[in-house]
Chains A and B, each alone.
Chain A
Amino acid sequence: MREVLSLLYGPIIETLVMVIVSTGIALLVGGSAGIGLFIMSESRMSGSAPLLRYAKNAADRIINVLRSFPFIILMVMVLPLSRLIVGTSIGTVAAIVPLSIAASPFMARVVESSLSEIDGGLIDAALACGAGKRRILFAILIPEVMPSLISGLTLTMISLVGYSAMAGVIGGGGLGDLAIRYGYQRFRTDIMIAAVSSIIVLVEGLQALGSAAGRKIKDSR
């Protein structure tokens, strides 16, 4: 038992690092892209220039293509990119590159669809208050959709836990790597069960945290 626990400790930390860092990157890159997509589709925020419609269509296509890649294929495809960015294609740090690439378009859609739920009347009211577009976005729209954003963020992180386990297949480290190397290749069923149980606990924990945060915001309204 002690051996199993000592084997679990490192991979749990690695999984958390992969999930948290790639979520941060996805929030930054995908979140910005999602805000951009929303602004392009909301004429109150961007006007109604015909060029915007083409730009939005192009951005939609790119995001759809990126989201279409099965993660296992994406991981292999971006190995050279990982090597270029972090200097290696193996290990936890290298796995963060494909994880971020996979999570960013997902996060973009989460942010876009959350913001699209906003009643246009709120944007009218904020405009009538004499607010600029940036203030409307950050002081009104994002706080208004925060419960939905938190729910989407939780969903993204849970997907990333699954993806990070897949990253173990190509030596990405973490609980997936442990399950493959010990549980599968060395027939250590106890370690396989411990690794899978840890992933289940991680997912349950993330979901509970996300739900509690969303509920707290809703209750305060």
Chain B
Amino acid sequence: MFDAQRPQKAANPPLVSPSLLPPIKFQPASNISSALSLENITKRFGNHTVLDNVSLRVVPGSICGIIGRSGAGKTTLIRIAGLLEKPDRGVVLHRDDPVHTLSGSALVSARRRAGFIFQGFNLFASRTALGNVAFPLEAAGWARRDTIERGRELLDLVGLLDKADRPVGRLSGGERQRVAIARALAGNPDMLFSDEATSALDPETTRSILDLLGSVRNRFGLTIVMVTHQLEVVRRICDDVAVIDQGHIAEHGSCSSVLEHPDSDSARRLVREAIDA
């Protein structure tokens, strides 16, 4: 019924509580080569080159981790991929469509097809949990009754339906990140970008958030790109991993190959540091 308001989208699958999610494995669309493709991305802030000629491809339906030390350029890379920042040079493709040159309403539409979750949650304190989840739908022009119904379905998905009317300031860190995930999923995106989404959470909450992201990927066939400095996060959930160091991709490959047999010095150092810790 919501899709009457949204001409470009296919019907939304019914959303249920995470524990009841059937393990549907995503079948990638055969007509696209990559969900996300970054080609020769360069970004400078003043005289400092944060990203230097970075290229990365993400397979549709996969979870790709981007790992590196603080200041390596991870956040800038994901902000460019998620259309929150423009590159100085290079090409960004979402499902093979160039999006780096978009502006105005075309950029707004492209952002609706990509969800984003942040380390600091970035929830709107003036709104309840439901109000936060409903915001992308309001922005997309959904009718009020439908935004509420869909918002409640999404909160049910993340296990917070009973806290729908609670101001987000009265939720725990894990609950806030769940609301943020529900908000990011509200527009039925093709991709989900996660910028250190678990860095502010304790290990147990981190695991529950990662499990939620994994089940969401399996259920909806999302492609997830996640920036993290926690090797455990990559190990637990990612299919592929890219190691970024001083604005360059040092190594990119499957999780098992990069973490168990790292080729680059940067990857070796990260693995060693994780083991030492």
Instruction: Report which A residues bind B (CB closer than 8 A).
Output: 119, 121-122, 124-132, 135, 139-140, 143-144, 146, 220-221
Given contacts A124-B116, A135-B139, A139-B138, is CB(A129)–CB(B187) below 8 Å? yes
B139 and A132 within 8 A (CB): yes
A130 and B140 within 8 A (CB): yes
How near does chain B come to A43, taking the closest CB pair, in angstroms? 10
What residue of chain A has the Cβ atom nearest to residue B183's Cβ? A129
Does B114 make an interface contact (CB < 8 A)? yes
Give the total of B residues in contact with A, Cβ under 8 Å: 33
Given contacts A129-B183, A130-B111, A130-B187, is CB(A124)–CB(B122) below 8 Å? yes
Tell me the interface secondary structure of chain B in the complex: mixed
What residue of chain A has the Cβ atom nearest to residue B84's Cβ? A124
Query: CB-CB < 8 A to B183: which residues of A?
Result: 125, 129
Does B87 make an interface contact (CB < 8 A)? no
Query: CB-CB < 8 A to B115: which residues of A?
Result: 128
Complex: A220 Cα to B169 Cα, angstroms: 10
Query: CB-CB < 8 A to A127: which residues of B?
Result: 84, 111
Query: CB-CB < 8 A to A126: which residues of B?
Result: 124, 135
Complex: A140 Cα to B125 Cα, angstroms: 9
Instruction: Report which B residues bind A (CB closer than 8 A).
Output: 79, 82-84, 105, 108-109, 111-112, 114-116, 118, 120, 122-127, 135-136, 138-140, 167, 169, 180, 183-184, 186-187, 193
Within 8 Å by CB of A129, from B105, B136, B167, lies B136
A130 and B120 within 8 A (CB): no
Within 8 Å by CB of B108, from A125, A131, A140, lies A131
The list of the 7 closest CB pairs from A to B, nearest first, reads: A130-B112, A128-B116, A125-B122, A143-B126, A131-B139, A129-B136, A121-B122
A144 and B124 within 8 A (CB): yes
What residue of chain A has the Cβ atom nearest to residue B112's Cβ? A130
B167 and A140 within 8 A (CB): no
What residue of chain A has the Cβ atom nearest to residue B184's Cβ? A128
What residue of chain A has the Cβ atom nearest to residue B180's Cβ? A125
A140 and B126 within 8 A (CB): yes
Complex: A221 Cα to B127 Cα, angstroms: 8
Complex: A119 Cα to B126 Cα, angstroms: 13
Complex: A90 Cα to B254 Cα, angstroms: 81
Extra pairs beyond A128-B114, A139-B135, A144-B125 (16, CB < 8 Å): A121-B120, A122-B122, A124-B79, A124-B122, A125-B123, A128-B115, A128-B193, A129-B112, A129-B183, A130-B136, A132-B139, A140-B135, A143-B127, A220-B167, A221-B126, A221-B167
Name the residue among B105, B114, B139, B169 with the largest chain A CB count within 10 angstroms. Answer: B139
What residue of chain B has the Cβ atom nearest to residue A133's Cβ? B108
Complex: A125 Cα to B122 Cα, angstroms: 6
Complex: A62 Cα to B55 Cα, angstroms: 47
B125 and A131 within 8 A (CB): no
A130 and B167 within 8 A (CB): no
What residue of chain A has the Cβ atom nearest to residue B126's Cβ? A143
Query: CB-CB < 8 A to B138: which residues of A?
Result: 135, 139
Complex: A34 Cα to B126 Cα, angstroms: 21
Complex: A129 Cα to B133 Cα, angstroms: 10
Complex: A31 Cα to B62 Cα, angstroms: 47
What residue of chain A has the Cβ atom nearest to residue B105's Cβ? A132
Complex: A28 Cα to B229 Cα, angstroms: 47
28 contacts between A and B (CB under 8 A): A119-B122, A124-B116, A124-B122, A125-B116, A125-B118, A126-B124, A126-B135, A128-B82, A128-B114, A128-B184, A128-B193, A129-B111, A129-B135, A129-B139, A129-B186, A130-B109, A130-B111, A130-B112, A131-B135, A135-B139, A139-B138, A140-B124, A143-B124, A143-B126, A144-B125, A146-B126, A221-B167, A221-B169
